Structure 1
Amino acid sequence: MAKPLDVDELWTHRIIQSINGLEYGTVQIVVHDGRIVQIERTERKRFESDQAVSAKETPRKPEKSNDFKKTKVYRTTGDFL
Protein backbone atom coordinates (compact mmCIF):
# COMPACT_ATOMS: atom_id res chain seq x y z
CA MET A 1 0.00 0.00 0.00
CA ALA A 2 1.22 3.49 -0.81
CA LYS A 3 2.48 5.75 1.93
CA PRO A 4 0.34 8.82 2.59
CA LEU A 5 1.87 11.93 1.06
CA ASP A 6 2.76 14.68 3.53
CA VAL A 7 3.06 18.09 1.85
CA ASP A 8 4.49 20.71 4.19
CA GLU A 9 4.46 24.50 3.76
CA LEU A 10 7.86 24.53 2.05
CA TRP A 11 6.74 22.19 -0.74
CA THR A 12 3.41 23.99 -1.05
CA HIS A 13 5.30 27.26 -1.52
CA ARG A 14 7.63 25.66 -4.11
CA ILE A 15 4.69 24.25 -6.08
CA ILE A 16 2.91 27.62 -6.10
CA GLN A 17 6.14 29.33 -7.24
CA SER A 18 6.41 26.85 -10.12
CA ILE A 19 2.84 27.52 -11.25
CA ASN A 20 2.89 31.33 -10.88
CA GLY A 21 3.45 33.14 -14.15
CA LEU A 22 3.03 29.97 -16.22
CA GLU A 23 0.90 30.77 -19.26
CA TYR A 24 1.52 27.61 -21.31
CA GLY A 25 3.31 24.54 -20.04
CA THR A 26 3.36 21.82 -17.41
CA VAL A 27 4.41 21.36 -13.81
CA GLN A 28 5.25 17.79 -12.76
CA ILE A 29 5.72 16.73 -9.16
CA VAL A 30 7.99 13.71 -8.69
CA VAL A 31 7.30 11.52 -5.64
CA HIS A 32 9.57 8.76 -4.26
CA ASP A 33 8.62 6.66 -1.23
CA GLY A 34 5.74 8.98 -0.38
CA ARG A 35 7.92 12.12 -0.42
CA ILE A 36 8.09 14.92 -2.97
CA VAL A 37 11.64 14.95 -4.27
CA GLN A 38 11.46 17.10 -7.39
CA ILE A 39 9.36 19.66 -9.25
CA GLU A 40 9.77 19.93 -13.01
CA ARG A 41 8.49 22.96 -14.92
CA THR A 42 8.27 23.02 -18.70
CA GLU A 43 7.30 26.40 -20.11
CA ARG A 44 6.19 27.01 -23.65
CA LYS A 45 6.12 30.35 -25.42
CA ARG A 46 3.62 30.84 -28.21
CA PHE A 47 4.32 33.28 -31.01
CA GLU A 48 1.72 34.10 -33.62
CA SER A 49 2.73 34.54 -37.23
CA ASP A 50 1.24 37.24 -39.46
CA GLN A 51 -0.98 34.61 -41.13
CA ALA A 52 -2.37 33.43 -37.78
CA VAL A 53 -3.18 36.99 -36.73
CA SER A 54 -4.94 37.80 -40.01
CA ALA A 55 -6.87 34.51 -39.87
CA LYS A 56 -8.21 35.45 -36.43
CA GLU A 57 -9.39 38.82 -37.72
CA THR A 58 -11.29 37.27 -40.64
CA PRO A 59 -14.64 35.94 -39.47
CA ARG A 60 -15.29 32.30 -40.31
CA LYS A 61 -18.53 31.19 -41.91
CA PRO A 62 -20.39 28.71 -39.73
CA GLU A 63 -20.94 25.21 -41.06
CA LYS A 64 -24.44 24.63 -42.37
CA SER A 65 -26.64 22.96 -39.83
CA ASN A 66 -30.36 22.59 -39.55
CA ASP A 67 -30.20 22.54 -35.74
CA PHE A 68 -28.48 25.89 -35.12
CA LYS A 69 -28.75 29.31 -36.66
CA LYS A 70 -25.27 30.34 -35.44
CA THR A 71 -22.20 28.25 -34.77
CA LYS A 72 -19.53 29.27 -32.29
CA VAL A 73 -16.04 27.80 -32.34
CA TYR A 74 -14.20 27.50 -29.04
CA ARG A 75 -10.50 26.79 -28.87
CA THR A 76 -8.59 25.43 -25.89
CA THR A 77 -4.91 24.85 -25.28
CA GLY A 78 -5.47 21.33 -23.96
CA ASP A 79 -3.52 22.08 -20.79
CA PHE A 80 -5.74 21.45 -17.82
CA LEU A 81 -4.93 20.79 -14.18
Structure 2
Amino acid sequence: MEKKEELKIRHIISSLEDLQYGSVIITVHDGEITQVDTTEKKRFPLAKGRAVKAR
Protein backbone atom coordinates (compact mmCIF):
# COMPACT_ATOMS: atom_id res chain seq x y z
CA MET A 1 0.00 0.00 0.00
CA GLU A 2 1.27 3.45 -0.87
CA LYS A 3 2.60 5.40 2.12
CA LYS A 4 0.22 8.33 1.50
CA GLU A 5 -2.79 5.99 1.48
CA GLU A 6 -1.54 4.28 4.63
CA LEU A 7 -1.40 7.65 6.42
CA LYS A 8 -4.97 8.43 5.35
CA ILE A 9 -6.24 5.08 6.64
CA ARG A 10 -4.36 5.49 9.93
CA HIS A 11 -5.91 8.94 10.34
CA ILE A 12 -9.42 7.53 9.75
CA ILE A 13 -8.87 4.68 12.23
CA SER A 14 -7.49 7.12 14.82
CA SER A 15 -10.53 9.39 14.34
CA LEU A 16 -12.86 6.44 14.93
CA GLU A 17 -10.98 5.25 18.02
CA ASP A 18 -11.04 8.73 19.60
CA LEU A 19 -14.76 9.27 18.93
CA GLN A 20 -17.42 8.35 21.50
CA TYR A 21 -20.51 9.93 19.89
CA GLY A 22 -20.54 11.57 16.49
CA SER A 23 -19.61 10.88 12.90
CA VAL A 24 -16.66 10.55 10.57
CA ILE A 25 -17.36 11.60 6.98
CA ILE A 26 -14.91 10.49 4.30
CA THR A 27 -15.00 12.43 1.02
CA VAL A 28 -13.74 10.63 -2.08
CA HIS A 29 -13.01 12.15 -5.52
CA ASP A 30 -12.00 9.95 -8.45
CA GLY A 31 -11.35 7.01 -6.12
CA GLU A 32 -9.05 9.02 -3.82
CA ILE A 33 -9.74 10.07 -0.23
CA THR A 34 -9.62 13.87 -0.34
CA GLN A 35 -11.12 14.88 3.00
CA VAL A 36 -12.02 13.49 6.43
CA ASP A 37 -14.48 15.41 8.63
CA THR A 38 -15.02 14.42 12.25
CA THR A 39 -17.98 15.75 14.21
CA GLU A 40 -18.09 14.93 17.91
CA LYS A 41 -21.26 15.24 19.94
CA LYS A 42 -21.23 15.91 23.66
CA ARG A 43 -24.34 15.03 25.62
CA PHE A 44 -25.06 16.52 29.01
CA PRO A 45 -27.88 15.02 31.09
CA LEU A 46 -30.33 17.39 32.77
CA ALA A 47 -30.15 17.54 36.55
CA LYS A 48 -33.02 15.52 38.06
CA GLY A 49 -35.72 17.49 39.84
CA ARG A 50 -34.85 20.67 38.02
CA ALA A 51 -37.50 22.13 35.72
CA VAL A 52 -36.56 23.51 32.33
CA LYS A 53 -38.19 26.86 31.52
CA ALA A 54 -39.68 27.32 28.05
CA ARG A 55 -38.69 30.51 26.28
Establish whether TM, by shorter chain, passes 0.5: yes
Give the alignment partner of residue 45 of structure 1, picking from 12, 35, 42.
42
- Aligned-residue identity in percent: 47
Instruction: Work out the CA distance in 2 between the residues paired with 1:21 and 1:36.
Output: 20
Query: TM-score, length-normalised on structure 1?
Result: 0.51
Correspondence for 1:32: 29
Whose radius of gyration is greater, 1 or 2? 1
Instruction: Work out the CA distance in 1 between the residues paired with 2:20 and 2:43.
Output: 9
Instruction: Return the letter of the residue paired with 1:26.
Output: S
Query: What aligned pairs does 1:2-81 form with structure 2 within 5 A after superposition?
Result: 8-51=5-48
Instruction: Return the letter of the residue paired with 2:19.
Output: L
Structure 1 ranges of 4+ moved more than 6 A:
none
**5+ unaligned residues in a row in structure 2: which ranges?**
49-55
Instruction: Return the letter of the residue paired with 1:43.
Output: E
CA RMSD of aligned residues (A): 1.6
3-state DSSP class of the match of 1:13?
A: helix
Query: TM-score, length-normalised on structure 2?
Result: 0.72
Relative to its length, the structure with more strand (as a share) is 2
Instruction: Work out the CA distance in 2 between the residues paired with 1:31 and 1:8.
Output: 12
Instruction: Work out the CA distance in 2 between the residues paired with 1:32 and 1:48.
Output: 40
